[in-house]
């Protein structure tokens, strides 16, 4: 195989794995959208918040220490050595569930029956609030996150792929980050668990019923508000997984919340209501933007990843406004 061909394969592989990461965030969107019709812009910030909280627990930070120190002139920062990964993750999940409960209680409850676009803007407000809150609670400095997932390039894969190259060509093997492979595996596992949950548990059935028809679900005695808390909790856990993956890869920092913006075109491609759609949409965007950058990027100045996904989604929308897997909309009067 020629090195050019192998480079292309490398780009595609990396694109696929980046796409899985996008899908992870998009998955949280789809869950909430299906159950409540809310387009939750704050999903990305939830990932950031979850990752911040996890790091905070791991390292034994005192929440709001900065604020406390400023207000009372004290010098508290840590309360001890921190805790092990498992305990930290469990506590973070509890925090995300508490958060879901609060969101339902303080925000969603009061916005029932509002236009979708109003709800969308409310979640933008929520995103801003959480961003400030997360920074206030744990500090805004960049943190490293390590929950024991291996990372770094795979030498084995480099060696294997080097042998594929044409004899005598200068090729040094493919670079694949082990972390990405792990992320892919975890994402796949998460999707399977979610599918099993929604197919085979009572709560799952209720979730699907609500997604299908709010009114009908209410009439058979499903509590919409409980469902919302559950869904936001699940979305919080998905956000935590996404936060761990992205955080381990590039540190826990503000830019992590921007992955929400990347998830939006994924959703447009995949449709807002389809879990397989979110995954395939993510893969298309991931591969598409990496290939575009690889082939066209050098000709027009590079950094095309900033906008390619949106422009692709835009073109796509012109021809299929309901997304790849969405249902066709028939307008009525």
Smallest gap from Cβ 285 to other proteins, in A, equals: 13
Centre a 10 Å sphere on the Cβ of residue 238 and count the other Cβ atoms it contains: 28
Tokens of 206: 């209720």
**Binding mask of the shown chain, residues 281 to 300, with x at each position contacting other proteins by CB under 8 A:** -------------------x
Residue in this structure with the two tokens 């990461």, named with its chain if needed? 21
Looking at the Cβ atoms of 194 and 309, the one nearer to other proteins is: 309
Interaction between residue 255 and other proteins (CB under 8 A): no
What separation in angstroms does the CA of 324 have from each of 216, 259, 266, 316? 27, 21, 10, 9
CA 27 – CA 277 distance, rounded (Å): 9
Smallest gap from Cβ 62 to other proteins, in A, equals: 15
Is-contact 33 41, C-beta < 8 A? no
Contacts (CB under 8 A) with other proteins, residues 312-331:
313-314, 317-318, 321, 330-331
Task: Kindly tell me which residue out of 2, 90, 132, 196 binds other proteins, with binding defined by CB under 8 A.
Answer: 132
CA proximity to 64, closest of 51, 79, 77, 46: 77
Tokens of 211: 């997604």
Smallest gap from Cβ 119 to other proteins, in A, equals: 8
Q: Return residues touching other proteins (CB under 8 A).
A: 39, 66-67, 70, 107, 110-111, 114, 116-118, 120-122, 124-133, 135-136, 140, 261, 264-265, 267-268, 300-304, 306-307, 310-311, 313-314, 317-318, 321, 330-331, 333
């Amino acid at each position: 195989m020629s090195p050019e061909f192998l480079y292309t394969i490398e780009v595609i592989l990396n694109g696929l794995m980046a796409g899985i990461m996008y899908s992870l965030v998009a998955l949280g969107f789809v869950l909430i959208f299906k159950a409540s019709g809310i387009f939750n812009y704050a999903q990305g910030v939830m990932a950031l918040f979850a990752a911040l909280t996890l790091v905070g627990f791991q390292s034994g930070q005192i929440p709001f220490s900065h604020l406390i120190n400023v207000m009372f002139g004290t010098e508290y920062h840590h309360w001890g050595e921190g805790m092990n990964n498992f305990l930290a993750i469990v506590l973070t999940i509890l925090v995300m569930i508490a958060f879901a409960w609060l969101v339902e209680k303080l925000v969603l409850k009061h916005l029932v029956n509002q236009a979708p676009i109003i709800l969308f803007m409310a979640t933008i407000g929520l995103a801003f609030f959480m961003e400030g809150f997360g920074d206030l609670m744990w500090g805004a400095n960049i943190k490293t996150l390590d929950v024991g997932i291996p990372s770094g390039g795979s030498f084995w894969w480099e060696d294997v792929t080097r042998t594929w190259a044409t004899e005598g060509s200068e090729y040094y093997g493919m670079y694949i980050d082990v972390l990405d492979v792990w992320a892919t595996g975890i994402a796949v596992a998460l999707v399977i668990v979610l599918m099993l949950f929604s197919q085979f548990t009572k709560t799952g059935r209720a979730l699907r019923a609500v997604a299908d028809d709010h009114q009908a679900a209410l009439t058979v005695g499903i509590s919409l508000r409980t469902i919302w808390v559950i869904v936001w909790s699940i979305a919080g856990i998905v956000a935590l997984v996404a936060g761990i993956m992205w955080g381990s890869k590039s540190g826990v920092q503000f830019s992590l919340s921007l992955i929400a913006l990347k998830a939006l075109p994924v959703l447009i491609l995949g449709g807002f209501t389809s879990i397989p759609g979110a995954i395939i949409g993510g893969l298309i965007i991931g591969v598409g933007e990496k290939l575009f950058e690889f082939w066209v990027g050098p000709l027009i100045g590079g950094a095309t990843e900033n906008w390619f996904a949106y422009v692709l989604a835009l073109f796509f929308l012109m021809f299929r406004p309901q997304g790849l897997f969405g249902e066709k909309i028939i307008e009525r009067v």
